[in-house]
Chain A
Amino acid sequence: MKPAAFTYHRARSVSGAVGLLAELGDDAKVIAGGQSLVAMMNFRLARPEHLIDIARIPGLDTIVREGDALRVGALVTHHAVETADLGPDFRVLSEAMRWVGHLPIRTRGTVGGSIAHADATAEWCLLAVLLDARIVVEGPAGRRSIPAEEFFQGVFTTALEPDELIVEVEFPRPAPRATLTEFAERQGDFAIVAAAVDPDAPRVVLGGVAQVPLRVPAAEAVLAAGVAVAEVGEAAAAAIDVRDEPGASAHYRRALTRTLVTRACEEARTR
Protein backbone atom coordinates (compact mmCIF):
# COMPACT_ATOMS: atom_id res chain seq x y z
CA MET A 1 0.00 0.00 0.00
CA LYS A 2 0.91 3.66 -0.08
CA PRO A 3 1.50 5.70 3.07
CA ALA A 4 -0.94 8.38 4.19
CA ALA A 5 -0.03 12.01 3.51
CA PHE A 6 2.28 13.83 5.90
CA THR A 7 4.33 17.00 6.14
CA TYR A 8 8.08 16.53 5.86
CA HIS A 9 10.49 18.45 8.10
CA ARG A 10 14.24 18.30 7.92
CA ALA A 11 15.99 18.95 11.23
CA ARG A 12 19.45 20.52 11.15
CA SER A 13 20.29 20.12 14.84
CA VAL A 14 19.24 18.06 17.84
CA SER A 15 17.67 21.12 19.48
CA GLY A 16 15.81 21.84 16.26
CA ALA A 17 14.42 18.31 16.15
CA VAL A 18 13.47 18.44 19.83
CA GLY A 19 11.79 21.81 19.28
CA LEU A 20 9.71 20.36 16.45
CA LEU A 21 8.81 17.32 18.55
CA ALA A 22 7.70 19.57 21.42
CA GLU A 23 5.64 21.70 19.05
CA LEU A 24 4.02 18.92 17.01
CA GLY A 25 3.53 16.41 19.82
CA ASP A 26 1.99 13.01 19.14
CA ASP A 27 1.28 13.87 15.49
CA ALA A 28 4.99 13.71 14.69
CA LYS A 29 7.38 10.82 14.21
CA VAL A 30 11.13 10.96 13.88
CA ILE A 31 12.63 9.32 10.80
CA ALA A 32 16.29 8.41 10.38
CA GLY A 33 16.84 5.36 8.17
CA GLY A 34 13.13 4.60 8.17
CA GLN A 35 13.60 0.85 7.75
CA SER A 36 10.90 -0.01 10.28
CA LEU A 37 8.84 3.18 10.11
CA VAL A 38 8.33 3.36 6.33
CA ALA A 39 7.21 -0.27 6.23
CA MET A 40 4.70 0.51 8.98
CA MET A 41 3.57 3.62 7.12
CA ASN A 42 3.15 1.65 3.89
CA PHE A 43 0.88 -0.72 5.80
CA ARG A 44 -0.78 2.33 7.40
CA LEU A 45 -0.05 0.86 10.79
CA ALA A 46 1.58 4.24 11.39
CA ARG A 47 0.00 7.45 10.08
CA PRO A 48 2.06 10.35 11.42
CA GLU A 49 0.96 13.78 10.23
CA HIS A 50 4.51 15.05 10.43
CA LEU A 51 7.84 13.36 9.77
CA ILE A 52 10.97 14.91 11.23
CA ASP A 53 13.99 13.73 9.26
CA ILE A 54 17.03 13.74 11.54
CA ALA A 55 19.40 11.99 9.11
CA ARG A 56 21.31 15.17 8.29
CA ILE A 57 21.95 16.32 11.85
CA PRO A 58 25.74 16.51 12.09
CA GLY A 59 27.66 14.71 14.83
CA LEU A 60 25.31 11.80 15.49
CA ASP A 61 27.03 9.29 13.20
CA THR A 62 30.26 8.62 15.06
CA ILE A 63 31.57 5.68 17.08
CA VAL A 64 33.92 6.82 19.83
CA ARG A 65 35.96 4.78 22.32
CA GLU A 66 36.24 6.63 25.60
CA GLY A 67 38.17 4.70 28.24
CA ASP A 68 36.28 1.49 28.85
CA ALA A 69 33.16 2.75 27.14
CA LEU A 70 32.05 2.78 23.53
CA ARG A 71 29.70 5.56 22.48
CA VAL A 72 27.68 4.87 19.35
CA GLY A 73 25.84 7.80 17.76
CA ALA A 74 22.13 7.40 17.07
CA LEU A 75 22.60 7.82 13.30
CA VAL A 76 25.31 5.18 12.93
CA THR A 77 24.00 2.56 10.50
CA HIS A 78 24.04 -1.17 11.16
CA HIS A 79 26.32 -1.56 8.16
CA ALA A 80 28.77 1.02 9.55
CA VAL A 81 29.02 -1.03 12.76
CA GLU A 82 29.34 -4.24 10.72
CA THR A 83 32.35 -2.87 8.84
CA ALA A 84 33.94 -0.91 11.72
CA ASP A 85 36.98 -2.22 13.56
CA LEU A 86 35.80 -2.04 17.14
CA GLY A 87 38.66 -4.13 18.53
CA PRO A 88 38.28 -7.27 20.65
CA ASP A 89 36.37 -5.48 23.44
CA PHE A 90 33.28 -4.78 21.35
CA ARG A 91 33.58 -7.28 18.52
CA VAL A 92 30.18 -8.67 19.48
CA LEU A 93 28.54 -5.54 18.08
CA SER A 94 30.12 -5.91 14.62
CA GLU A 95 29.57 -9.67 14.58
CA ALA A 96 25.89 -9.37 15.54
CA MET A 97 25.14 -7.06 12.61
CA ARG A 98 24.93 -9.88 10.11
CA TRP A 99 21.69 -10.86 11.86
CA VAL A 100 20.13 -7.39 11.46
CA GLY A 101 17.80 -7.50 8.47
CA HIS A 102 19.43 -7.80 5.06
CA LEU A 103 22.32 -5.81 3.63
CA PRO A 104 20.03 -3.23 1.91
CA ILE A 105 18.28 -2.72 5.26
CA ARG A 106 21.55 -2.40 7.16
CA THR A 107 22.89 0.28 4.84
CA ARG A 108 20.11 2.64 5.95
CA GLY A 109 18.79 1.42 9.29
CA THR A 110 20.30 3.12 12.35
CA VAL A 111 21.21 2.13 15.89
CA GLY A 112 19.05 4.86 17.41
CA GLY A 113 16.11 3.95 15.20
CA SER A 114 16.27 0.31 16.13
CA ILE A 115 16.40 1.09 19.84
CA ALA A 116 13.54 3.60 19.58
CA HIS A 117 11.41 1.14 17.61
CA ALA A 118 12.01 -1.42 20.38
CA ASP A 119 11.09 -4.62 18.60
CA ALA A 120 11.63 -7.35 21.20
CA THR A 121 13.52 -9.49 18.70
CA ALA A 122 15.78 -6.66 17.49
CA GLU A 123 19.47 -7.36 17.90
CA TRP A 124 20.28 -3.83 19.13
CA CYS A 125 17.70 -4.10 21.89
CA LEU A 126 19.22 -7.40 23.02
CA LEU A 127 22.75 -6.03 22.82
CA ALA A 128 21.76 -2.96 24.83
CA VAL A 129 20.38 -5.08 27.67
CA LEU A 130 23.23 -7.61 27.41
CA LEU A 131 25.93 -4.97 27.76
CA ASP A 132 24.18 -2.68 30.31
CA ALA A 133 23.99 0.09 27.74
CA ARG A 134 22.68 3.51 28.60
CA ILE A 135 20.37 5.22 26.13
CA VAL A 136 21.24 8.92 25.98
CA VAL A 137 18.24 11.05 25.02
CA GLU A 138 17.71 14.77 24.65
CA GLY A 139 14.49 16.66 25.33
CA PRO A 140 13.49 20.27 25.96
CA ALA A 141 14.97 20.07 29.48
CA GLY A 142 18.31 18.73 28.30
CA ARG A 143 19.93 15.31 28.24
CA ARG A 144 19.33 12.27 30.39
CA SER A 145 20.64 8.76 30.25
CA ILE A 146 18.38 5.72 30.70
CA PRO A 147 19.62 2.20 31.54
CA ALA A 148 18.59 -0.21 28.77
CA GLU A 149 16.68 -2.47 31.15
CA GLU A 150 14.44 0.46 32.15
CA PHE A 151 14.21 1.79 28.62
CA PHE A 152 12.31 -1.14 27.11
CA GLN A 153 8.88 -1.25 28.74
CA GLY A 154 6.65 -3.37 26.51
CA VAL A 155 5.64 -4.10 22.92
CA PHE A 156 7.14 -1.23 20.90
CA THR A 157 7.00 0.83 24.10
CA THR A 158 9.94 2.66 25.65
CA ALA A 159 10.79 5.21 28.32
CA LEU A 160 11.35 7.80 25.59
CA GLU A 161 9.04 10.81 26.01
CA PRO A 162 7.24 12.12 22.89
CA ASP A 163 9.46 15.21 22.86
CA GLU A 164 12.74 13.34 23.33
CA LEU A 165 15.25 12.16 20.75
CA ILE A 166 17.82 9.38 21.16
CA VAL A 167 21.23 10.90 20.48
CA GLU A 168 23.61 8.13 21.53
CA VAL A 169 23.91 4.66 22.99
CA GLU A 170 26.69 4.19 25.49
CA PHE A 171 28.16 0.74 26.10
CA PRO A 172 29.97 1.18 29.43
CA ARG A 173 32.13 -1.93 29.66
CA PRO A 174 34.18 -4.15 27.35
CA ALA A 175 32.59 -7.51 26.52
CA PRO A 176 35.29 -9.46 24.69
CA ARG A 177 33.53 -12.82 25.18
CA ALA A 178 29.95 -11.74 24.51
CA THR A 179 28.11 -13.44 21.64
CA LEU A 180 24.74 -13.27 19.94
CA THR A 181 23.04 -15.87 17.77
CA GLU A 182 19.53 -16.42 16.51
CA PHE A 183 17.28 -18.42 14.24
CA ALA A 184 14.89 -17.30 11.50
CA GLU A 185 13.51 -19.22 8.54
CA ARG A 186 15.45 -16.99 6.16
CA GLN A 187 18.74 -15.32 7.08
CA GLY A 188 17.90 -11.70 7.85
CA ASP A 189 14.24 -12.16 8.69
CA PHE A 190 12.94 -11.37 12.17
CA ALA A 191 14.30 -13.92 14.60
CA ILE A 192 11.91 -16.50 16.00
CA VAL A 193 14.27 -16.66 18.97
CA ALA A 194 17.51 -14.73 19.53
CA ALA A 195 19.99 -15.42 22.33
CA ALA A 196 22.85 -13.29 23.61
CA VAL A 197 25.27 -14.17 26.40
CA ASP A 198 28.15 -12.48 28.16
CA PRO A 199 29.92 -14.93 30.49
CA ASP A 200 31.88 -12.14 32.17
CA ALA A 201 28.84 -10.19 33.39
CA PRO A 202 27.24 -12.79 33.50
CA ARG A 203 24.23 -12.12 31.29
CA VAL A 204 21.79 -14.24 29.34
CA VAL A 205 19.32 -12.22 27.26
CA LEU A 206 16.62 -13.59 24.96
CA GLY A 207 14.63 -12.07 22.12
CA GLY A 208 11.35 -13.37 20.73
CA VAL A 209 10.13 -14.97 23.95
CA ALA A 210 8.71 -11.93 25.74
CA GLN A 211 7.45 -8.41 25.01
CA VAL A 212 10.87 -6.94 25.76
CA PRO A 213 14.44 -8.29 25.56
CA LEU A 214 14.39 -10.72 28.45
CA ARG A 215 17.16 -11.26 30.99
CA VAL A 216 17.06 -14.77 32.44
CA PRO A 217 18.58 -14.65 35.94
CA ALA A 218 18.15 -18.41 36.43
CA ALA A 219 20.32 -19.10 33.38
CA GLU A 220 22.79 -16.39 34.40
CA ALA A 221 23.30 -18.15 37.73
CA VAL A 222 24.06 -21.40 35.93
CA LEU A 223 26.40 -19.58 33.55
CA ALA A 224 28.26 -18.04 36.51
CA ALA A 225 28.67 -21.49 38.06
CA GLY A 226 30.82 -22.52 35.09
CA VAL A 227 29.14 -25.89 34.55
CA ALA A 228 28.46 -27.52 31.17
CA VAL A 229 27.01 -25.03 28.69
CA ALA A 230 24.08 -27.32 27.87
CA GLU A 231 22.86 -26.71 31.42
CA VAL A 232 22.70 -22.96 30.75
CA GLY A 233 20.50 -23.64 27.71
CA GLU A 234 18.38 -26.00 29.78
CA ALA A 235 17.93 -23.39 32.52
CA ALA A 236 16.94 -20.71 30.00
CA ALA A 237 14.41 -23.01 28.30
CA ALA A 238 12.89 -23.90 31.66
CA ALA A 239 12.64 -20.28 32.79
CA ILE A 240 10.69 -18.75 29.90
CA ASP A 241 6.93 -18.36 29.69
CA VAL A 242 5.87 -18.91 26.08
CA ARG A 243 2.58 -19.79 24.42
CA ASP A 244 1.63 -21.49 21.16
CA GLU A 245 1.46 -18.89 18.41
CA PRO A 246 0.94 -19.12 14.65
CA GLY A 247 4.28 -20.10 13.13
CA ALA A 248 5.94 -21.20 16.36
CA SER A 249 4.61 -23.43 19.11
CA ALA A 250 5.69 -22.97 22.71
CA HIS A 251 7.52 -26.29 22.44
CA TYR A 252 9.44 -25.06 19.40
CA ARG A 253 10.40 -21.72 20.97
CA ARG A 254 11.61 -23.55 24.07
CA ALA A 255 13.69 -25.93 21.95
CA LEU A 256 15.18 -23.01 20.02
CA THR A 257 15.97 -21.23 23.28
CA ARG A 258 17.76 -24.31 24.62
CA THR A 259 19.79 -24.73 21.43
CA LEU A 260 20.63 -21.08 20.84
CA VAL A 261 21.66 -20.28 24.41
CA THR A 262 23.86 -23.37 24.44
CA ARG A 263 25.33 -22.39 21.08
CA ALA A 264 26.03 -18.83 22.22
CA CYS A 265 27.73 -20.13 25.40
CA GLU A 266 29.86 -22.57 23.39
CA GLU A 267 30.98 -19.75 21.14
CA ALA A 268 31.75 -17.53 24.12
CA ARG A 269 33.87 -20.22 25.75
CA THR A 270 36.15 -20.45 22.71
CA ARG A 271 37.22 -16.86 23.31
Chain B
Amino acid sequence: MSEIQLVELTVNGERHDLAIEPRRTLVDVLRHDIGLTGTHVGCEHGICGACTVLVDGAPVRACLVFAAQVEDADIRTVESLAEPDGTLSDLQREFSAHHGLQCGFCTPGFLMLAEGFLAERPDATKEEIREVVASNLCRCTGYQTIVEAVDACAARRRSG
Protein backbone atom coordinates (compact mmCIF):
# COMPACT_ATOMS: atom_id res chain seq x y z
CA MET B 1 0.00 0.00 0.00
CA SER B 2 1.43 3.32 -1.08
CA GLU B 3 1.56 6.37 1.06
CA ILE B 4 -0.61 9.34 0.23
CA GLN B 5 0.79 12.81 0.71
CA LEU B 6 -0.92 16.18 0.72
CA VAL B 7 0.59 18.45 -1.92
CA GLU B 8 -0.44 22.00 -2.68
CA LEU B 9 0.23 23.18 -6.23
CA THR B 10 -0.32 26.52 -7.92
CA VAL B 11 -1.04 25.99 -11.60
CA ASN B 12 -1.88 28.88 -13.92
CA GLY B 13 -2.57 31.02 -10.87
CA GLU B 14 -5.03 28.56 -9.37
CA ARG B 15 -4.38 26.64 -6.16
CA HIS B 16 -4.95 22.89 -6.03
CA ASP B 17 -4.92 20.76 -2.87
CA LEU B 18 -4.04 17.23 -3.86
CA ALA B 19 -3.82 13.93 -2.04
CA ILE B 20 -1.33 11.98 -4.16
CA GLU B 21 1.39 9.41 -3.99
CA PRO B 22 4.86 11.02 -3.75
CA ARG B 23 5.89 9.12 -6.87
CA ARG B 24 3.41 11.12 -8.96
CA THR B 25 5.34 13.20 -11.48
CA LEU B 26 4.26 16.75 -12.20
CA VAL B 27 3.08 15.84 -15.69
CA ASP B 28 0.86 13.05 -14.39
CA VAL B 29 -0.62 15.33 -11.73
CA LEU B 30 -1.33 18.02 -14.30
CA ARG B 31 -3.05 15.59 -16.65
CA HIS B 32 -4.74 13.07 -14.35
CA ASP B 33 -5.36 14.89 -11.08
CA ILE B 34 -5.96 18.43 -12.32
CA GLY B 35 -7.28 17.56 -15.78
CA LEU B 36 -5.01 19.88 -17.75
CA THR B 37 -4.33 17.57 -20.67
CA GLY B 38 -2.67 20.20 -22.84
CA THR B 39 0.71 19.12 -21.45
CA HIS B 40 1.66 15.94 -23.27
CA VAL B 41 3.65 12.90 -22.13
CA GLY B 42 6.15 11.43 -24.53
CA CYS B 43 9.25 9.60 -23.43
CA GLU B 44 9.09 9.99 -19.63
CA HIS B 45 12.85 10.29 -19.39
CA GLY B 46 13.62 13.83 -20.38
CA ILE B 47 14.51 13.33 -24.03
CA CYS B 48 11.50 14.54 -26.00
CA GLY B 49 10.35 17.66 -24.13
CA ALA B 50 6.65 17.19 -24.94
CA CYS B 51 5.88 17.74 -21.24
CA THR B 52 7.73 21.07 -20.92
CA VAL B 53 6.01 23.52 -18.56
CA LEU B 54 7.19 26.65 -16.73
CA VAL B 55 8.18 26.43 -13.06
CA ASP B 56 8.75 29.90 -11.64
CA GLY B 57 9.14 31.10 -15.22
CA ALA B 58 11.81 28.57 -16.24
CA PRO B 59 11.13 25.79 -18.75
CA VAL B 60 11.22 22.40 -17.03
CA ARG B 61 10.56 18.79 -18.03
CA ALA B 62 7.41 17.90 -16.09
CA CYS B 63 8.21 14.18 -16.38
CA LEU B 64 11.47 14.66 -14.48
CA VAL B 65 9.93 16.44 -11.50
CA PHE B 66 7.80 15.00 -8.73
CA ALA B 67 4.84 17.21 -7.91
CA ALA B 68 5.92 17.22 -4.26
CA GLN B 69 9.15 18.99 -5.26
CA VAL B 70 7.39 22.02 -6.71
CA GLU B 71 5.01 22.96 -3.93
CA ASP B 72 4.94 26.76 -3.57
CA ALA B 73 6.22 27.21 -7.13
CA ASP B 74 4.35 29.10 -9.83
CA ILE B 75 3.56 26.50 -12.49
CA ARG B 76 2.36 27.49 -15.94
CA THR B 77 1.05 25.16 -18.61
CA VAL B 78 0.09 25.64 -22.25
CA GLU B 79 -3.50 26.32 -21.13
CA SER B 80 -2.28 29.67 -19.72
CA LEU B 81 -1.22 31.04 -23.11
CA ALA B 82 -4.51 31.76 -24.85
CA GLU B 83 -7.08 34.24 -23.53
CA PRO B 84 -10.04 32.78 -21.64
CA ASP B 85 -12.19 33.35 -24.73
CA GLY B 86 -9.82 31.21 -26.81
CA THR B 87 -7.94 34.04 -28.53
CA LEU B 88 -4.46 32.69 -29.22
CA SER B 89 -1.35 34.36 -27.79
CA ASP B 90 1.15 36.06 -30.09
CA LEU B 91 3.46 33.03 -29.83
CA GLN B 92 0.68 30.62 -30.73
CA ARG B 93 -0.35 32.80 -33.68
CA GLU B 94 3.24 32.77 -35.01
CA PHE B 95 3.37 28.96 -34.71
CA SER B 96 0.18 28.84 -36.78
CA ALA B 97 1.32 31.44 -39.32
CA HIS B 98 4.72 29.75 -39.86
CA HIS B 99 3.36 26.20 -39.92
CA GLY B 100 5.37 25.46 -36.76
CA LEU B 101 3.19 22.43 -36.09
CA GLN B 102 1.63 19.58 -37.97
CA CYS B 103 0.32 16.72 -35.83
CA GLY B 104 0.55 18.94 -32.75
CA PHE B 105 1.78 16.39 -30.23
CA CYS B 106 5.01 18.21 -29.46
CA THR B 107 3.52 21.71 -29.77
CA PRO B 108 2.60 22.40 -26.12
CA GLY B 109 6.18 21.56 -25.14
CA PHE B 110 7.69 23.79 -27.80
CA LEU B 111 5.35 26.65 -26.90
CA MET B 112 6.28 26.56 -23.22
CA LEU B 113 9.96 26.13 -24.04
CA ALA B 114 9.84 29.21 -26.26
CA GLU B 115 7.69 31.17 -23.80
CA GLY B 116 10.20 30.62 -20.99
CA PHE B 117 13.23 31.18 -23.19
CA LEU B 118 12.02 34.44 -24.75
CA ALA B 119 11.05 35.83 -21.35
CA GLU B 120 14.68 35.47 -20.27
CA ARG B 121 16.31 36.23 -23.63
CA PRO B 122 14.07 38.64 -25.57
CA ASP B 123 17.01 39.60 -27.80
CA ALA B 124 17.91 36.01 -28.72
CA THR B 125 19.52 35.53 -32.12
CA LYS B 126 18.20 32.99 -34.57
CA GLU B 127 21.21 30.77 -33.80
CA GLU B 128 20.40 30.85 -30.09
CA ILE B 129 16.78 30.03 -30.85
CA ARG B 130 17.94 27.13 -33.01
CA GLU B 131 20.06 25.75 -30.17
CA VAL B 132 17.22 26.00 -27.65
CA VAL B 133 14.71 24.46 -30.05
CA ALA B 134 17.02 21.42 -30.13
CA SER B 135 15.86 20.74 -26.54
CA ASN B 136 12.64 19.15 -27.80
CA LEU B 137 11.75 16.60 -30.45
CA CYS B 138 9.39 17.21 -33.37
CA ARG B 139 8.91 14.50 -36.00
CA CYS B 140 6.74 16.51 -38.42
CA THR B 141 8.08 19.97 -39.12
CA GLY B 142 11.82 19.53 -39.47
CA TYR B 143 12.22 22.34 -36.90
CA GLN B 144 12.87 25.11 -39.43
CA THR B 145 9.31 26.44 -39.16
CA ILE B 146 9.45 26.29 -35.36
CA VAL B 147 12.66 28.35 -35.36
CA GLU B 148 11.00 30.84 -37.69
CA ALA B 149 7.86 31.06 -35.54
CA VAL B 150 9.85 31.73 -32.36
CA ASP B 151 12.10 34.22 -34.14
CA ALA B 152 9.09 36.05 -35.59
CA CYS B 153 7.44 36.21 -32.17
CA ALA B 154 10.63 37.60 -30.61
CA ALA B 155 10.96 40.20 -33.38
CA ARG B 156 7.34 41.27 -33.01
CA ARG B 157 7.67 41.61 -29.24
CA ARG B 158 10.83 43.69 -29.64
CA SER B 159 9.19 46.05 -32.09
CA GLY B 160 6.61 46.62 -29.42
A residues with a Cβ closer than 8 A to B are 1-8, 10, 31, 34-35, 38-39, 41-43, 51, 53, 55, 79, 98, 101-105, 107-108, 186-188
User: Do B59 and A5 touch across chains, with their CB atoms under 8 A apart?
Assistant: no
**Residue B3 is within 8 A (CB to CB) of chain A in the complex:** yes
User: Do B45 and A103 touch across chains, with their CB atoms under 8 A apart?
Assistant: no
User: Do A55 and B135 touch across chains, with their CB atoms under 8 A apart?
Assistant: no
What are 28 pairs between A and B in contact, CB < 8 Å? A2-B25, A2-B44, A3-B25, A5-B2, A5-B3, A5-B21, A5-B23, A6-B23, A7-B3, A7-B22, A8-B66, A10-B68, A31-B66, A35-B64, A38-B66, A39-B46, A42-B45, A42-B63, A51-B66, A102-B132, A102-B136, A104-B113, A105-B61, A105-B135, A107-B60, A108-B61, A108-B64, A187-B131
Q: Which residue of B lies closest to A107 (CB)?
A: B58
**Residue B134 is within 8 A (CB to CB) of chain A in the complex:** yes
- B residues less than 8 Å from A4 (CB atoms): 23
User: Do B134 and A53 touch across chains, with their CB atoms under 8 A apart?
Assistant: no
User: Do A188 and B21 touch across chains, with their CB atoms under 8 A apart?
Assistant: no
- B residues less than 8 Å from A8 (CB atoms): 5, 22, 66, 68
Q: Mark B1-38, 1 if CB is under 8 A from A, else 0.
A: 01101000000000000000111010010000000000
User: Do B25 and A103 touch across chains, with their CB atoms under 8 A apart?
Assistant: no
Contact of B23 among A3, A39, A103 (CB under 8 A): A3
Total A-B residue contacts, Cβ distance less than 8 Å? 94
With contacts A31-B69, A107-B59 taken as known, whether A43 is within 8 angstroms of B134 at the C-beta atoms is no
User: Do A103 and B113 touch across chains, with their CB atoms under 8 A apart?
Assistant: yes
- A residues less than 8 Å from B55 (CB atoms): 107-108
- A residues less than 8 Å from B39 (CB atoms): none
- B residues less than 8 Å from A53 (CB atoms): 68-69
- A residues less than 8 Å from B117 (CB atoms): 103
B22, B64, B135, B136 pick with most chain A CB within 10 angstroms:
B64
Q: Which residue of B lies closest to A38 (CB)?
A: B64
- What's the least CB distance linking A175 to chain B, in Å? 25
Binding site of B, secondary structure by majority: helix, strand, loop or mixed?
Answer: mixed
User: Do B46 and A35 touch across chains, with their CB atoms under 8 A apart?
Assistant: yes
With contacts A7-B3, A188-B135 taken as known, whether A55 is within 8 angstroms of B69 at the C-beta atoms is yes
Q: Mark B41-57, 1 if CB is under 8 A from A, else 0.
A: 00011100100100100
How distant is the Cα of A39 from the Cα of B46 in the complex, in angstroms? 7
- A residues less than 8 Å from B63 (CB atoms): 38, 42
A3, A10, A103 pick with most chain B CB within 10 angstroms:
A103
Contact of B52 among A35, A104, A186 (CB under 8 A): A104
User: Do B23 and A34 touch across chains, with their CB atoms under 8 A apart?
Assistant: no
- A residues less than 8 Å from B44 (CB atoms): 1-2, 42
